[in-house]
Amino acid sequence: MKFSNFLFPAVMDPNDDHRIIQETLQEAKLCDDLGMDMLWLAEHHFDGICAYVDPVSFAAALAACTKRINIGFAVAQMSLHHPIRMAEQMALIDNISKGRLTVGLGRGTAYNIYDYQGYGIDPAEAYDRLVEAEEIMIKAWTTENYEHKGKFWNIRLPLLRPRPYTKPHPPIVRACSGEEAMVGMARAGRPFLMNIQSNEVTRHRMDLYRKTMRESGFDEAAVARNVDDTWIWKNIFVGETDAEAERLAMPAFNTQQAFRSAMREKVYKKQGLLLKTETAPAARNQSQHSILCGSPETITEALMEIDKIGVGGMILVFRIGPMPYEVAAHSIRLFMEKVAPNFKKAA
């Protein structure tokens, strides 16, 4: 099982934007130095939920300031991007990083309507825009004299430059918030990113994913490759003891949850608009499913239960809500020194 840091830094006060962005670069370099497998980047706008806002620009910065760690999006909101501009940017970052880029794509947020309003995009178009944009990007990376006439874009392209460093193009992975989307990826023989779920739901979906791939004609080697490239998301905090971890992490986690819903509630009160109504508490809002919190021994035990399910990697948010950088950095060091070594593959 591979491990990654989901760089998802919140900024409660706009006056702290610069500091948090600089600390997030520092956090990325720490993970690179400690030998973590991957960094993932988010995309959220106008609310401070994600300090750097734009994963494309930030990925370019990370590609330049890190040496070996892989960089991916979890995810870029493709409904807000022009596919040719995105294809160019991805090819450039792929070259800067010498092939360390994974292009994680999604339709766009399922919760924050103001992301779409700020870009003048109808959220009802988001999924169709994603599908069309992904097709355009792949063809742009791999085809000369490419022409496309679609629902949202009409394109005539002699040759996209720069050419991708990775041949034929950087790997693409989709985020799947629901089971139906995950099944679609299995039928297509593609890996996916899973949002926060309980272990029971994760087990069910991974079993269904393998079953669907097999029923779609893929052999065991293909199933194993795709599972190895599939990642699931959790918040995490490692302390010296269980009590210390709970004392430092849980107030930050609770503040994070409230902060993430504040702008949504504000827009609803002002405009009467809500992108999605939750009829039951989501796993991401329930601490027993959303956050792994404890000593290195406790965290190792919890991760071993997930490892038994069979997933490729963990997308782990180490810096939670308003947590100070130094506290998150200590958690990262404890994880890499005392937890991650328990999951190394035998030589």
For the chain, 347 residues long, give each residue's pLDDT as a single digit of tens: 999 999 999 999 999 999 999 999 999 999 999 999 999 999 999 999 999 999 999 999 999 999 999 999 999 999 999 999 999 999 999 999 999 999 999 999 999 999 999 999 999 999 999 999 999 999 999 999 999 999 999 999 999 999 999 999 999 999 998 999 999 999 999 999 999 999 999 999 999 999 999 999 999 999 999 999 999 999 999 999 999 999 999 999 999 999 999 999 999 999 999 998 765 568 888 898 999 999 999 999 999 999 999 999 999 999 999 999 999 999 999 999 999 999 987 44
CATH classification for the domain delimited by 2-343, as one of 3.40.50.2000, 3.20.20.30, 3.40.710.10, 1.10.10.10 = 3.20.20.30
pLDDT of residue 278: 67
Bond prior to 162 in cis (omega within 30° of 0): yes
Q: Are 39 and 2 in contact (CB under 8 A)?
A: no
* Alpha carbon distance 155, 83 (integer Å): 10
pLDDT on residue 279:
59
Q: What is the pLDDT of residue 347?
A: 42
Annotated domain spans of the chain: 2-343
Answer whether 34's CB lies under 8 Å from 69's CB. Answer: no
d(CA 169, CA 97): 13
Return d(Cα 199, Cα 148) in angstroms, integer: 42
The secondary structure of residue 73, as a DSSP letter, is: E
Closest CA to 160 of 214, 76, 64, 92: 92
Question: Is the Cβ–Cβ distance between 52 and 89 less than 8 Å?
Answer: no
pLDDT at position 92 is 98
Q: How far apart are CA 272 and CA 306, in angstroms?
A: 40
Q: What single-letter DSSP state applies at residue 81? A: S
Report the alpha-carbon distance of residue 139 to residue 148 in Å, rounded: 9
Residue 56's SS3 state is helix
pLDDT for 285:
83
Quick one: DSSP state of residue 97? T
Report H helices in 6-54. Answer: 17-34
Terminal alpha carbon distance of the chain: 15
Per DSSP, helices labelled H in 35-82 are 55-65
Length of the chain equals 347
